[in-house]
Chains A and B, each alone.
Chain A
Amino acid sequence: MQKVLEVKGLTKQYTKVLAADNVSFDIGEGEIFALIGPNGAGKTTTIRMISTLLKATSGDAVIDGHSINKEPEKVRECITYLPDEAGAYKNMTGANYLKFMAGLFYTDPNKIIECVNRAKEICGLGERLNDKIGSYSRGMIRKLLLSRAVMTKPKLAILDEPTSGLDVINAIEIRKMIKKLAAEEGMSFLLSSHNMLEIEFVSDRVGIIAKGHLMVTGTGEELKQRYNAVNLEEVFERVVIENEIH
């Protein structure tokens, strides 16, 4: 399988806190990879470095052949990033927001229209897209932003806590959407979550991260077998305990 993302020893040192310590993993084409870990484990820091929003203290990540250190502009062309608790411009209508964002990726009007139509289909907001975003519920905004993140068919979509703040039905819809896009369009996803049960359902492979260290990576089944656990939550518990003993 061709690799879309290769992370090589990414490290982020804040003054006193080592937020990410030598994190390395890779994601193949059409693969859904999830970083799981508790709050403050370094998930968001790692994701921000890969999205070129933060400069890594050391290490590198290569996305579709472009290094985040040397060619951040090229990297931004092949990724989309959905931040945790992201918002949208409240005075714009949903449709205009999609058009504006598509206009940042493409200059060809036909391409832009194509993107917007795709996003309209994916988000399922229907007529509400003509209303101002200020009037949307949290779930609607999340759906709009998610459809925005995948409408340009990026090589890698980076979704930070994609279902945070959503009810069960909406969360399931979004999980299904991610799986479908990966299977049908061959898009790769990098997700992060602290909801391990959700991740078990949606992701092909997971990486468990705690206190800045990427402890272990593998498919859900592999990890469950290796740690003799019933679900990923148990795997996580054992990984963390094992790490503390050593």
Chain B
Amino acid sequence: MKFINLFQKELKELINAQMIASLVLVVGILMIVGNIMQNAISDTIEESTNPKINISDRDDTDFTKSLIETLKNTGAEVTEFDTDGDDYADILKKNDIKNLVIIPEGFTETIEKSECPEVLTVSRMTSAATMSNLSTGNSGAVALIQKSITSTIAQNSGITPEELELIENPVVLQDNTVVDDKSSAISIDNIMNKVMMQNMLLPIIVFLLIMMTSQSLISSISNEKIDKTLETLLSSPVSRTSIITAKMLAAAVVALINATVYMIGFSKFVQGASTEAVSEIASGVMGNVSVDEAIEQLGLSLSVGDYVLVGLQLFLTIMICLSRFNHARCVGKRYKIFTDRYHAHNDACNGSLHDFNGIRHKHSPYGIKNYCVRYTVYTHIFGYIKPHVRK
């Protein structure tokens, strides 16, 4: 009952308008970014299926003309330009285009000699952003050119299109993945990509939350000291353990609320950024089930019970981290008391906090100086505080 009283007070201190506002803001931003990514990705997908091809035919033979004709027949939007010289920046600028495929002079001649002809591509990089350069039509164009040259050569050699198909793809791959006793017609790579994304997400969220909660735990204790409410609290008939546990529990509960909201925001973000593209490509290429469906079929999707378990695990992780953190802080405080005393800067405050941490100070067998030196060595060498609390 007393504990609930303490806990409620801590919770009320942590949950305030600012916290709720920042949560809403974060989720809002994540969702907006997710949406933008989704739009960018669907644009890219659309452009890769219907590429805009800018082409400059410098060879100008019957073969290249029929090649461009074939390109047009594939559904691509082909625009022809007359260009000369190799000042590509100027060419792109003059014609106000972002990308260009150039069929150089002597292209047909080279093919006729049964040699490998050259094709030039020019792409303008407008920004360093990942999404901005995805949608150049050059790669699509080059793929189409290659394909039509292959079919032309095949035709000339008397190979039918069906035979050509067989030569190009002699084997049709049908991936199947089995989990336990369930199977789905999808490649294991696709499943792993999706699961990886989830596996990455959780540790990041946990890390973020631990940073946040440990900060709020510190400030909640130090604020009591600064506002001079700590002594009143400590002289009241509640145990030190319940004071600190109430603070930790409140911090963890708030962290869990944060986690839930962040997860929702992140999942929207991830959905926008990855699932759409992955499943689009997967279903496009494989022509069978999408990743989400496959995960469902394999029984890898999380049920409500699983989410509760994940939540519980998160909660315990945070609690454990906070207690470890507190533990380390006690050692730090103890170290401070030692150095303070060592340097004869003593005052009554240290005594009270030291007692608050529950460490009954007795003389260290190592001696004060020794202890400080050991502590410094630990923090410098290992970069963390070696817990060394003796009750």
Contacts and interface: CB of A to CB of B under 8 A. Distances in A.
Given A16-B346, A104-B236, A104-B238, A54 B9 contact: no
B139 interface: no
Contacts of B1: 103, 107
Contact of A86 (B231, B352, B355): B231
B227 A55 contact: no
A145 B232 CA distance: 10
A81 interface: yes
Contacts of A91: 12-13, 16
A54 B352 contact: yes
A80 B235 contact: yes
B232 A14 contact: no
Given A53-B235, A55-B361, A85 B228 contact: yes
A16 B340 CA distance: 12
B2 A104 contact: yes
A45 B227 contact: no
Contacts of B342: 15
Contact of A55 (B229, B347, B360): B360
Interface stretch (A23-31, A71-79, A162-170): A71-79
A216 interface: no
A77 B351 contact: no
A11 interface: no
A77 B237 contact: yes
Interface string A95-135: 00000110111010000000000000000000000000000
A70 B17 CA distance: 45
B341 interface: yes
Contact of A104 (B6, B231, B348, B352): B6
A90 interface: yes
A51 interface: yes
A89 B13 contact: yes
Nearest to A145: B232
With most chain B CB atoms within 10 A of its CB, the pick from A44, A45, A48 is: A48
Interface in A15-55: 15-17, 19, 44-45, 48, 51-55
With most chain A CB atoms within 10 A of its CB, the pick from B16, B231, B235 is: B235
Given A15-B346, A101-B236, A48 B352 contact: yes
A88 interface: yes
A89 B236 contact: no
Contact of B237 (A19, A105, A145): A105
Nearest to A13: B346
Interface in B342-380: 342, 344, 346-348, 351-352, 355, 360-361
Contacts of B361: 55
A211 B237 CA distance: 31
Contacts of A83: 228, 231-232
A54 B351 CA distance: 6
A214 interface: no
A55 B341 contact: no
Contacts of B229: 86-89
A122 to B, nearest CB: 17
Contacts of A44: 348
A140 interface: no
Interface of B: 1-2, 5-6, 9, 12-13, 16, 227-229, 231-239, 341-342, 344, 346-348, 351-352, 355, 360-361
30 contacts: A14-B346, A15-B344, A16-B346, A48-B231, A48-B348, A52-B234, A52-B235, A53-B234, A53-B351, A53-B352, A53-B355, A54-B348, A55-B355, A73-B237, A76-B237, A79-B235, A80-B235, A81-B235, A87-B227, A87-B228, A87-B229, A89-B13, A91-B12, A91-B16, A103-B2, A103-B5, A104-B2, A105-B236, A105-B237, A145-B232
